[in-house]
Every structure is written in C-alpha cells, then in structure tokens.
Structure 1
Amino acid sequence: MKFLFFIAILLITACSSSIPTLNQYLLRSDRSSQFAVEKQTKVVGLGTVVVAPYIDGLGLVLETSAGEVRPARDHQWAEPLRDSLRAFIAQEMSTQAGQIIRSNNSGERDWQRRIDLRIDQLHGTANGEARLVAYWVVIDTDERTVISENGFSETKALSANGYSALVAAEKALLQALAIAMAATL
C-alpha cells in the first residue's frame, strides 16, 4: 500500500513539472537580397570561414567566468554557425559594398578578391554583453598577394535579459563586422 501511494505521489509530481522547450534561432540578414549589379569592378568571394570549435555547436554560448564557457542546451542556433555565418556575412557585405559578394565556392576561378574569415569568439558574457572577436584577410587572387589583414573585437550590451537579447546583440555585432569587412575591399 505504501508502495502504491509512493508511486502515485511520484507520478503526480512528475506530471506537474514542465519540460523545457527547445528554442532555435536563425541567423538571417534583414537586408533585401533583391538587387542587381550591372558592372562589377572586382569579383569578390567569401572564401574560408573558420569558426572556433567552442562555438561550432548548436547551443548559444555563455562565458560564466574568465575562460569558462557553457553552451546552452535549450537555446540553439537552427543551423551550424559555419554555414549560416557565410550567408549572413556575404549578404550584409553585399548591401554595404554595393556589389555582390559571392558566398559559395562555385566560380571561384573568376574571383579577383577572396576574403578568408576566422571567428575566434562569439558568446555572451557574465556581465550582460555579447562579445565578437574576428579576423579576416583580403587576398588578390590574380596576383596571389595579401591586400590586407584585419581584426575586429567589440562587445555590445544586451538590451534585456535572456537568450533572445543575446541573439539580437550577436547579430548586431556581426552586422558591424560585415561593415568593417566591406570597408577593406
């Protein structure tokens, strides 16, 4: 009898607790992708995009203390960052530069300029900010020379608590990165 009572209590408490919901976030540009370029001075393509291994999973990452990070289990990117970053950065740069930045590797032989990008840090901090650290190289593919090597390191305060605010701040930082990258073309 005690056993049945214990099982009944266990079932009641198990049913009353809520199951965490999985929240997934898409990284997409808000800019229009409908434009045409009649004459392009240099064909530019986004080459290698490398993402630091600690942010290459699906979970959004928070730095809990200096040097210690934790990926979220219930708040995730809908796609791997290395894929969505390529399309996002190319779209944002295209709008900023007024020319198409190719994001796929097809037609790479036609490129006169290639941009290789490395994202070293992209996470939320313990003090309510988002941090982005990135490096990129602009290469003249005809001459096979490096035109410029560049770095970007910024933080942005979250507008509110929560992962949605973290996603918005990270997106704003990535837009600022794309603007800086476009300026080096």
Structure 2
Amino acid sequence: MKYLALIAALLVTGCSSSAPTLKQYLLRTDTPSQFTLQDSTGAVGIGTLTVAPYIDGRGLVLETSNGEVRAARDHQWAEPLRESLRSYLSSKVSEQSGQVIRAYNYAKVDWAQRIDIRIDELHGTANGGAKLVAYWNIVDPAERKVLSENGFYETEALGRDGYDALVQAQKKLLDRLASAIAASL
C-alpha cells in the first residue's frame, strides 16, 4: 500500500509540473533601412551566404565543453538563420557604409561588387559569452576577380544570464562584423 501511495504521489507531482515554453527569437535590426534605389549601376550585394551546419538549425547553440555543442530545444530562431543573417547584415553594412547593400539580386542586375560571406561559428560559449567567426570576400563579378579576403573573430560577454542575453550579444558581434565588412568595401 505504501508503494501505491508513493507512486500516486510521484505521478501527481510529475504531472503537475509545467512543460518548458518555446521561445523564438527574431534576428532583426532595431531600425529597418529605408531607401529607394533608382539606378542599379554600381550596386553592391550579398552573394553567397554560407552558415556552418551545426548552427543552421532552429535552436540557439551553446558550447558546453571542449568542442561539444548543443542546440537548445526550447529557444529557437523564429526563421532560418541564413535568411535572417542575409537581411540583418545587408541592413547593417548599408548603415555602416552609407550605400545600399542588396540582400538579394531580384533584378538580375550585374553588381559592381559582390560580398560572399561564410559564418563558421556563432554560438554561446562555455564561459558565458558569445562567439562569432566569419570570413568574407569582396568580388568583382564582371572580372571574376576576388578583390579582398577577410576574416573576423570576436567574442562578447553576456550582459546577464539567459538566451535573450545571448541573442543580444550575438547581435553586437554581427554589428561589429558589418562594420568590418563596410570598411573593406
């Protein structure tokens, strides 16, 4: 009888605890860019944007120990990261460079320069920070020539605990990456 009472108590306790709630995060700039581009001559755009497979899923990624990473189940990007990164970086590079950087080549125009970007690492670190490792090339598509090759590696301490703080730290890192890309144009 004692065992039945214990099992019943465990079942009631187990069933009364609430399941974790799913939280989704948008990667958006605080001020969306507004512009009108009449002439596409000299247009610059983001070409290939490659994201490392381990961060290309829905869950935000944390490094738990030497080289071990885990994607969060209940803290996810609201949309595919590579699409969010394309929009975010085009807006921020535009802001930093003072010129329109196209996220997509809708008009099938010949760009004067193309920015190809590879994000190798974008995750929370085991010591409570965020890390971004990225590479980009500036390409002259008409000449099929790489004008410059560049790399970026930085970390940012989290302002507080939690996934929302991780997203804010990652945005700061992406802002600094956008500044570096703008300076290389």
- Normalising to structure 2: TM-score of the pair? 0.92
Residue 63 of structure 2 corresponds to which residue in structure 1? 63
Question: What one-letter code is carried by the residue in structure 2 that aligns with 1:77?
Answer: W
Q: Is the 8 A contact 1:31 1:95 kept in 2?
A: no
Partner of 2:109, secondary structure, is: helix
Computed over aligned residues only, the root mean square deviation of the Cα atoms, in angstroms, reads 1.9
**Alpha-carbon distance, 1:40 to partner:** 7.0
Question: Quick check: 20-29 or 97-106, which moved more?
Answer: 97-106
State whether structure 2 residue 176 is matched by structure 1 residue 181. Answer: no
**Alpha-carbon distance, 1:36 to partner:** 3.6
Q: Is the 8 A contact 1:45 1:103 kept in 2?
A: yes
State whether structure 2 residue 77 is matched by structure 1 residue 77. Answer: yes
**C-alpha separation in 1, matches of 2:44 and 2:108:** 9
State whether structure 2 residue 98 is matched by structure 1 residue 98. Answer: yes
**Alpha-carbon distance, 1:6 to partner:** 6.2
Question: Quick check: 32-41 or 135-144, which moved more?
Answer: 32-41
Residue 46 of structure 2 corresponds to which residue in structure 1? 46
Number of residues of Structure 1 aligned to a counterpart in Structure 2: 185
**Alpha-carbon distance, 1:2 to partner:** 7.7
State whether structure 2 residue 13 is matched by structure 1 residue 13. Answer: yes
Residue 170 of structure 1 corresponds to which residue in structure 2? 170
Partner of 1:110, secondary structure, is: coil
**Alpha-carbon distance, 1:33 to partner:** 1.5
Q: Is the 8 A contact 1:137 1:148 kept in 2?
A: yes
Question: What one-letter code is carried by the residue in structure 2 that aligns with 1:181?
Answer: I
- Normalising to structure 1: TM-score of the pair? 0.92
**Alpha-carbon distance, 1:11 to partner:** 4.3
Structure 1 residue ranges (4+ consecutive) displaced by more than 4 angstroms after TM superposition: 1-8, 37-41
**C-alpha separation in 2, matches of 1:38 and 1:108:** 15
**Pairing of 1:114-129 with structure 2 (within 5 A):** 114-129=114-129
Question: Quick check: 136-145 or 50-59, which moved more?
Answer: 136-145
Residue 133 of structure 1 corresponds to which residue in structure 2? 133
**C-alpha separation in 1, matches of 2:77 and 2:124:** 14
